Amino acid sequence: MNPLRLLLACGCMAAGCRTPIPSDTPAPFDAAVDAVDAAALAEASADVAPDLPSAGPTRLRVATFNVHRFFDTTCDTGRCAAGDYEALPSPEAFAQRADEIARAIERLDVDVVFLQEVETAASLSAISERLGAAWPSSALGEIGTPASVDVAVVGRDPLRAVRTHRERVLHRPDGSSTVFSRELLEVELEHAGRPVIVFAAHLRSMVDDDPGRRLAEAQAAREIIGARATERPEALLLLGGDMNDVPGSATLTALESDGALERATGGRAAEEIATYVYRGAGLALDHVFRARAGAGAVIAEEVSVRWDAQPARGYGGSDHASLRAVYRWE
């Protein structure tokens, strides 16, 4: 057993942990697929991406951002002391972190952001209040368990509909049943008169790993998005989030199978797309996909990874970088 898995075997799931473990620490990969030296990553990726395409009716700018354990000021598990899983920030610390996240979102200069690890509606409201009227749309995929860190979407465009999919029964390769570990959140927006449907995801963590569940989540997400694309061919459909796996893995292969979903970073060098650094290696864990069946001729015009510092240490106070993509209607 590798050392990280041995360490995590002494832990437990989020609600019951007594040791402080990060919610999504990836285990070492046996293959070197998309694992790059952090120094090369820092050189290839900078916080400032030059000549970013501007907003407009023919472009949609999106980003995915794992904000890293944004807990509110209520202790839901009853265990929030030092060493417990659920953090309990002071009101001042909570406000400061909300300020930091909102500033990071603004700096991305996008129209829609897929968020991960937002605990509650109070956490999302704090972000939305700071973003102000320029960001009128927000939705949270709350799963309702104590100290859950959930997915969310914030956007500059009008909100038309919100749908959830966690009630769907999934099947692991061994035939056992499960559900999405977090919500697969579906949000419909209207961008310059065009329908845009975005799916926010955060697939099963590698902490106390369950790769069969992560694969089942990926397979179901592809099926759900594919069905919606068939139903709504006029809409641009996007999937974004922390997939907790790298290109070439079973997880991403399932999402990309049959060409139904096109990864924005497809064909890019590993040092250009890594979003997380583990033991000096950059790993591409955060991704954005487009459903090929929807919205006619749409291309990924620009893709970049945003870091706050060099060597790479994450973005906006998080341990993850943010992946930004711009889609253009031809």
Q: Place 34 in a pLDDT band, splitting at 50, 70 and 90.
A: very low
* Mean pLDDT along residues 222-238: 96
User: What's residue 67's pLDDT?
Assistant: 98
Which of the two residues, 144 and 270, has the higher pLDDT score? 144
- 70: which 2 tokens? 């944004």
Mean pLDDT of the chain: 86
| Residue-wise DSSP of 160-175 | EEEEE-TTS-EE-TTS
Q: What angle is formed at CA 166 by the lines to CA 138 and CA 170, rounded to 5 degrees?
A: 145
Longest Cα separation, the chain:
54
> 6 to each of 9, 11, 165, how far by Cα in Å?
5, 9, 33
Contacts of 51 (CB under 8 A, 6+ apart): none
User: What's residue 18's pLDDT?
Assistant: 32
User: What's residue 155's pLDDT?
Assistant: 98
Q: Which pairs from 46-52 meet CB under 8 Å and 24+ separation?
A: 46/307, 46/310, 47/306, 47/307, 47/308, 47/309, 47/315, 49/302, 49/304, 49/306, 49/324, 52/109, 52/302, 52/304, 52/326
pTM (2 decimals)? Answer: 0.87
**By C-alpha distance, which of 177, 183, 225 is closest to 204?**
183
* Mean pLDDT along residues 7-34: 39
Domains for the chain: give ranges and CATH numbers: 3-329 (3.60.10.10)
CA–CA dist 210, 59 (Å, integer): 38
**Would you say residue 15 has pLDDT above 50?**
no
